[in-house]
Amino acid sequence: MPVANSLVVVGAGQAAAQLVASLSQDGYAGEVTLIGDEPHLPYQRPPLSKKVLTGELTPDRLSVKPAAFYDKIGTRLRLDARVERIDRVTKEVTLSDGSRIGFTTLVLATGSRARTLPLQGTGRTATFVLRSIADVAALRAQFAPGKALVVIGGGYIGLELAAVAVKQELEVTVLEQAPRVMARGVGPVVSRFYERLHHEEGVRLCMGSVVHGVEDGCVVCAGSEHRADLVLIGAGAVPNAELARESGLATENGIVVDAECRTSDPVIYAIGDCATQHHPLVGRRLRLESVHNALEQARIASASICGKPAPAAQVPWFWSDQYDVKLQMAGLSDGYDQAVVRGDPDRGRSFAVFYLRDGVLIAVDAVNRLPEFMMSKQLIAGRARIDPARLGDESIAVKDLKG
């Protein structure tokens, strides 16, 4: 049975690491146990598809905090251990080795996993996903100049990996089912820019490609075949919500939580990629897959657990690094009715697109434009109304856009 004030965290990503740090800062006095199903300390995942894949960054440098940090704050680590079951009546989690750990408060930070595809006849072609340190190690071992890599999915992960692979002299083809790349995250102007960018760098992009399978060293689509020594599936992510669902918690494309990150059980919280929450910017429930969201929800949950005031809500932001181009996004462009371009996306590699709804700035996609990104975060938070002509006029300094 749990002792008084025993908190268990299931998951060992950035949300979990931030949670235990925030609990310490917020004065949580109970026992804390963090359970992760990988053998590694909680680590950062965004560099996996970039600097770790190139070898510029070694996996041991990905840890959010060193082991000594967890010792110092009194967090017990159970790594390389998988939680199989939550018993909400006895308030215990059961691990795959049969051991049980009691809790008075439970936090699910189970993240998400790479979506797989029902590919038929994989044959001799090696097929990969990119979600963990182990995935990167397996993929890097197969990288070699001249090999044909087919990436299924033209989202952030797929395009980031394509950018790394083509620089390492692989022959890269990206197959995207939608009519444009990164369609879920950016507007058409930014999609067209990235299609041009990858074409200039030597990546072959095929839009509207429906993959049927992998046969005899080829990826087979409707009406076309693409030679493949390696296949990377970058078809999005699936929230790890099974534990919650099987224990009777409310789920809907993730674990349903309230403004304090509480689930339908008041002693159980969910944070990070696995959680779906109502967002005031778009007026509906959604699940955000981002480092910023994971950290913010961790701080919110900690404050709730410790009886502290919730931190102020922030404008969500995201980023992607491809070649020498940094894309920084702030806000959520869902439902925009006007897009204003600042700069020239058809030439060069620097511009910004502002998204407005009913005259209010709701989001920005900034390509190598840090000033526009930073200023837009403030303007979006303030629900600013700005003359579209001013947004698009580069003769007006970014710092003067608020005027």
* pLDDT value of position 316: 93
Q: For residues 204 and 215, which has the higher predicted lDDT (pLDDT)?
A: 204
Q: Which of 272, 274, 275 is nearest to 291 (CA)?
A: 272
Q: Is 208 helix (H, G, I), strand (E, B) or coil?
A: coil
Under the banding of pLDDT at 50, 70 and 90, the label for residue 279 is confident
Residue 123 pLDDT: 59
Per DSSP, the three-state class of 389 is helix
Per the prediction, the chain carries an average pLDDT of 94
According to the model, what pLDDT value does residue 222 have? Answer: 86
pLDDT-derived band at 124 (thresholds 50, 70, 90) equals low
Rg (the chain; Cα; Å): 22
pLDDT at res. 403: 61
pLDDT value at 238 more than 80: yes
Could you report the per-residue pLDDT of 1-58, keeping only the tens digit for each? 555 689 999 999 999 999 999 999 999 999 999 999 999 999 999 999 999 999 899 9
- Which stretch of DSSP H or E encloses residue 300? helix 291-306
At 204, the pLDDT band (50, 70, 90 cuts) reads very high
Is residue 106's pLDDT more than 90? yes
As a whole-number percent, the residues of the chain with pLDDT over 90 amount to: 88
pLDDT above 80 (res 212): yes
Number of H helices, E strands in the chain: 10, 26
Residues 66-89 have a mean pLDDT of 97
Least Cα distance to 278 among 265, 287, 270, 289 occurs for: 287
**Stretch 348-375: mean pLDDT, rounded?**
97
Degrees, nearest 5: CA angle 32-318-269? 30
Tell me what pLDDT residue 304 has: 97
pLDDT in tens, 246-274: 999 999 999 999 999 999 999 999 999 99
Q: Where are the alpha helices (DSSP H) in 88-201?
A: 133-140, 156-167, 188-201
List CB contacts of 301: < 8 A, sequence separation 6 or more.
Answer: 19, 22, 107, 260, 261, 269, 271
- Determine the Cα–Cα distance for residues 298 and 109; give it in Å rounded to an integer: 9
CA–CA gap between residue 336 and residue 190 (Å, rounded): 15
Of 106, 97, 391, 90, give the one whose Cα is nearest residue 262. 106
For residue 129, what pLDDT is reported? 92
What pLDDT sits at residue 290? 93
Residue 401's pLDDT is 86
- Position 287 scores a pLDDT of 94
CA distances from 60 to 48, 213, 331, 382 (A): 12, 36, 32, 40
